[in-house]
């Protein structure tokens, strides 16, 4: 069979889409794997979710012949957020297609390589966004000289990323390629020289204020889902800075959350150094138990609650979450972007290259922020 762009389109639709979608939804991140995904409550370009908080006021105990309690409806509020546009693009040169046009195996290998790269990149950015505040901010410039600079934190940076440079709200430079990251020195090697002062910000390219509503937003002090935290105490999660990680501090956070929200903490995430500290702590009494989670992820156990490490979790931080309170609302699952003729692969104008784009329109909603907790300032081992 002669390979053409039409054959490639059919292959991407029939054989790769479901596999890639499953990979991104279930194997990107252990936190994301536990979050329910739904197309409910999507209205136009927004998500509008009516949630109940508190209890029904029409329940009481009384005398046998006394008046019945007056009916009182439950308290509700509307959580509103916009659908975020998530994209992933692959490119295949015309030369590569023609060179494998009579070799189906070579063509499949070509697609396999491109899809593996796409999944790896999309998984990286989805995981990063789960911990972000929706702004797309990656870090601040500390020093800059030519193509080299240092930043306050390299956690969100990796080789091959495209970034934009901002001074406040002013865009200074776009589409800067990060060629190398030195994590010990907190330094970056860039594809072009930049003129920047301390305090300038790097953002994911084209993503400023357009990313998922991640944990950074849920644990901030700003309004959430178009609702004021000042007027809604249930929108405020439990946060505490601790000087030392102890079992008592972890259990206190769990107890405070469950006392206030009525929910149950069922998932804990932390940084590498905090996990080492926790293992060291638990090993004083007994060997830390391990759990195997859905998707093949490994976790240690704190009183039966899985504890996982995540590369994007801020240093010295532990999140204690009820994953049942989180839902990823989406217009659709991952789909290929098609033109009016139904084509997926389209020629890039002016280039002998074809591109295909994977899309998803979604946002993360936490129905009960008061049911979540965060410990910060933990000394890392």
Q: Average pLDDT in the 91-100 region?
A: 83
* CATH classification at residue 284: 3.30.2320.10
Per the structure, the count of domains in the chain is 3
Stronger pLDDT, 247 or 287, i.e. the higher one: 247
Residues 289 and 340 in one domain: no
Residue 105's Cβ-side half-sphere holds a number of Cα atoms within 13 Å equal to 0
In this prediction, residue 191 carries a pLDDT of: 97
Residue 109: pLDDT band (50, 70, 90) is confident
Which DSSP letter does residue 369 get? G
Whether 222 maps to a domain, the answer reads: no
Note down the domain range covering 237.
Answer: 233-325+368-376
Q: With 80 as the cut, is the pLDDT of residue 69 above it?
A: no
Q: What is the DSSP string of 99-140?
A: HTTT-HHHHHHHHHHHHHHHHHHHHHHHHHHHTS-SS-EEEE
If you average pLDDT over residues 240-262, what whole number do you get?
A: 95
What is the token pair recorded at 298?
A: 């490994």
Co-location of 14 and 125 in the same domain: yes
**Contacts of residue 41, Cβ cutoff 8 Å, sequence gap at least 6:** 47, 48, 49, 329
The H-or-E segment that residue 328 falls in is strand 326-330
- What pTM was estimated for this model as a whole? 0.90
Evaluate whether residue 197 is within a structural domain. Answer: yes
Domain final residue, candidates 189, 204, 219: 204
User: Are 316 and 333 in a shared domain?
Assistant: no
Pairing mode, strands 346-347 and 305-309? unpaired
State which of 204, 223, 245 marks the end of a domain. 204
Q: Is 11 within a domain? A: yes
Closest by alpha carbon to 207, among 29, 312, 335, 85? Answer: 85
Would you say residue 64 lies in a domain?
A: no
pLDDT of 158 over the 90 cut: yes
Average pLDDT in the 28-37 region?
93
Counted residue by residue, the chain has a size of: 381
Q: Report how far residue 345's alpha carbon sits from residue 76's, in angstroms, rounded to the nearest whole number.
A: 46
Cβ atoms of 346 and 355 closer than 8 Å: yes
Asked if 150 and 200 sit in the same domain, the reply is: yes
CATH number of the domain encompassing residue 178: 2.40.30
Share of the chain above pLDDT 90, in %: 69
Give mean pLDDT, residues 42-57: 84
pLDDT value, residue 62 = 66
- 85: which strand partners? 361
CA-based end-to-end distance of the chain:
58
pLDDT number for residue 57: 56
Rounded mean pLDDT of 53-73?
Answer: 65
In this structure, the answer to whether residues 196 and 300 fall within a common structural domain is no
Confidence (pLDDT) at 53: 76
Together in a domain, 9 and 121: yes
H-assigned helices in the chain: 5-11, 17-26, 30-33, 94-99, 104-130, 215-218, 247-261, 272-282
94 and 120 share a domain?
A: yes
Any domain includes 289: yes
Separation between Cα atoms, residue 331 and residue 329, nearest integer Å: 7
Burial grade of 230 (CB within 10 A; 0-12, 13-18, 19 or more): exposed
220 in a structural domain:
no
Tell me: do 258 and 158 sit in the same domain: no
Q: What CA–CA distance (Å, rounded) separates 20 from 13?
A: 11
User: For residue 289, what pLDDT is reported?
Assistant: 83
Q: Mutual orientation of helices 17-26 and 104-130 as an angle, nearest 10°?
A: 30
DSSP β-ladder status, 373-376 and 238-241 = parallel
pLDDT, residue 337, reads 93
Provide mean pLDDT across the span 134-157: 96
**Domain CATH for 334:** 3.30.2400
Burial class (CB in 10 A: 0-12, 13-18, 19+), 246: exposed
Residue 68 within a domain: no
Q: How far apart are CA 35 and CA 327, in angstroms?
A: 6
- Claim to verify: residue 99 and residue 169 sit in the same structural domain: no
243 and 372 in a common domain: yes
The region of weakest confidence among 153-167, 173-187, 237-251, 337-351 is: 337-351
Domain boundary among 154, 189, 204: 204
In a domain, 349, yes or no: yes
Say which residue, 8 or 223, is predicted with more confidence: 223
- The listed range with the strongest mean pLDDT (10-14, 148-152, 344-348) is 148-152
| Token pair recorded at residue 30 | 């252990």
CA dist., res. 134 & res. 222, Å (int): 12
Average pLDDT, the chain: 91
Q: 169 with 127, same domain?
A: no
DSSP string over 215-245? HHHHTSSS-BTTB-SSS-GGG--EEEE-SS-
274 and 153 belong to one structural domain: no
Residue 103, pLDDT above cutoff 80: no
The contacts of residue 232 (CB under 8 Å, 6+ apart) are 53, 77
């Amino acid at each position: 069979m002669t390979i053409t762009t039409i054959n490639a389109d059919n292959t991407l639709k029939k054989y790769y889409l479901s596999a890639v979608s499953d990979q991104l939804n279930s194997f990107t991140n252990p936190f994301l794997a536990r979050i329910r995904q739904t197309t409910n409550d999507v209205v136009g370009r927004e998500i509008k979710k009516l949630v109940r908080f508190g209890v029904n006021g029409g329940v009481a105990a009384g005398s046998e012949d006394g008046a019945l309690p007056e009916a009182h409806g439950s308290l509700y509020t509307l959580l509103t957020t916009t659908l975020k546009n998530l994209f992933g693009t692959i490119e295949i040169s015309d030369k590569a297609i023609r060179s494998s046009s009579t070799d189906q195996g070579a063509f499949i290998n070509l697609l396999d390589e491109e899809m593996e790269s796409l999944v790896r990149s999309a998984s990286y950015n989805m995981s990063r966004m789960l911990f972000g505040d929706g702004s797309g901010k990656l870090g601040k410039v500390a020093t800059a000289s030519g193509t080299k600079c240092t930043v306050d934190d390299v956690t969100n940076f990796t080789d091959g990323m495209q970034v934009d440079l901002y001074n406040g709200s002013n865009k200074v430079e776009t589409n800067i390629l990060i060629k190398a990251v030195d994590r010990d020195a907190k330094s970056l090697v860039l594809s072009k020289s930049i003129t920047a002062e301390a305090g300038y910000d790097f953002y994911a390219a084209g993503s400023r204020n357009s990313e998922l509503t991640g944990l950074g937003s849920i644990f901030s002090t700003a309004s959430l889902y178009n609702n004021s935290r000042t007027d809604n105490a249930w929108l405020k999660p439990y946060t505490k800075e601790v000087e030392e990680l102890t079992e008592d501090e972890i259990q206190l956070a769990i107890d405070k959350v469950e006392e206030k929200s009525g929910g149950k903490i069922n998932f804990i995430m932390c940084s590498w150094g905090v996990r080492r500290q926790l293992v060291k702590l638990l090993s004083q009494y007994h060997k830390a138990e391990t759990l195997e989670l859905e998707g093949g992820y490994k976790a240690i156990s704190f009183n039966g609650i899985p504890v996982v490490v995540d590369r994007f979790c801020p240093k010295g931080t532990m999140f204690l979450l009820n994953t049942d309170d989180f839902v990823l609302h989406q217009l659709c699952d991952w789909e290929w972007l098609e033109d009016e003729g139904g084509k997926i692969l389209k020629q890039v104008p002016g280039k002998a290259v074809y591109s295909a784009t994977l899309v998803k329109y979604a946002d993360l909603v936490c129905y009960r922020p008061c049911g979540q907790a965060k410990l910060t300032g933990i000394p890392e081992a």
